[in-house]
Amino acid sequence: MAAAGSEHLRVGFVGAGRMAEAIAQGLIRAGKVEAKQVLASAPTDRNLCHFRALGCQTTNSNQEVLQNCSLIIFATKPQVLPDVLAEVASVVTTEHIVVSVAAGVSLSSLEELLPPKTRVFRVSPNLPCIVQEGAMVIARGHHAGNDDAELLQNLLEACGQCIEVPESYVDIHTGLSGSGVAFVCTFSEALAEGAIKMGMPSGLAHRIAAQTLLGTAKMLQQEGKHPAQLRTDVLTPAGTTIHGLHALEQGGLRAATMSAVEAATCRAKELSKK
């Protein structure tokens, strides 16, 4: 396989759940890979219909994916992955780039379960990959080279930001960004419900809350400001915002959010040890 380019690359997905679909959709929408060059496998057709709707090929055979594709994204549940890798190990070659998106499964575990010198990566994605606004980190195994990492990053940037990091950051990213999507949704819901309580219709409140989160995130990214700076820009003496912030501090929002990221990260680390 020519690691430097993706013109004729065939991408395989072992596991066809929501995250696999999100990555595949991002790759296809961005034109990184043609739908017909994607092959996905799952034990049943329940999730494969989503891949077929994208124009991808599907199969119930995991080994068939390895036999037909050079870059393989394993998107199974963490507890299932060791058995799946054992099933396909006999058809893994040095031509393959093996990518795992399973939370908590270490690079050393992946390398132990696969043939010697297999090129292995861990990717920690998040669900906004489906709208090409994901936040992803990748970590490479011992035998993955710079060209392999460059190829993978180039592909995954179709789904959002993709940054190579030391493996020790991957579990933290799971807590911050993987689980963080649910944390942000909880805050968005609460924000809207505050407006509903004050008399705004539900649909309108949720629409404005989501746009507020989107606009704020864009400002943080584009202006490169620390959140505290942007927050200060909104404050006026004795104004509405400082009264609201006081209520948030009384409710322990900051500490609760830090604890949520910590708890999710610790759970990812627990999974790594199993």
Which positions make up the binding site?
A: 62, 75-78
Paired tokens of 161: 């930001």
Note the residue count of the chain: 274
Distance of alpha carbon 230 from alpha carbon 221, whole angstroms? 11
Distance of alpha carbon 241 from alpha carbon 162, whole angstroms? 34
The DSSP secondary structure of the chain, one letter per residue, reads --TT--TT--EEEES-SHHHHHHHHHHHHTTSS-GGGEEEE-SSSTTHHHHHHHT-EEES-HHHHHHH-SEEEE-S-TTTHHHHHHHHGGG--TT-EEEE--TT--HHHHHHHS-TT-EEEEEE--GGGGGT-EEEEEEE-TT--HHHHHHHHHHHGGGEEEEE--GGGHHHHIIIIITHHHHHHHHHHHHHHHHHHTT--HHHHHHHHHHHHHHHHHHHHHH---HHHHHHHH--TT-HHHHHHHHHHHTTHHHHHHHHHHHHHHHHHHHHH-
Give the annotated binding-site residues for NADP(+). 75-78
CA Rg, the chain, in Å?
Answer: 21
Give the annotated binding-site residues for NADPH. 62
Nearest of 6, 42, 45 to residue 27 by alpha carbon: 6
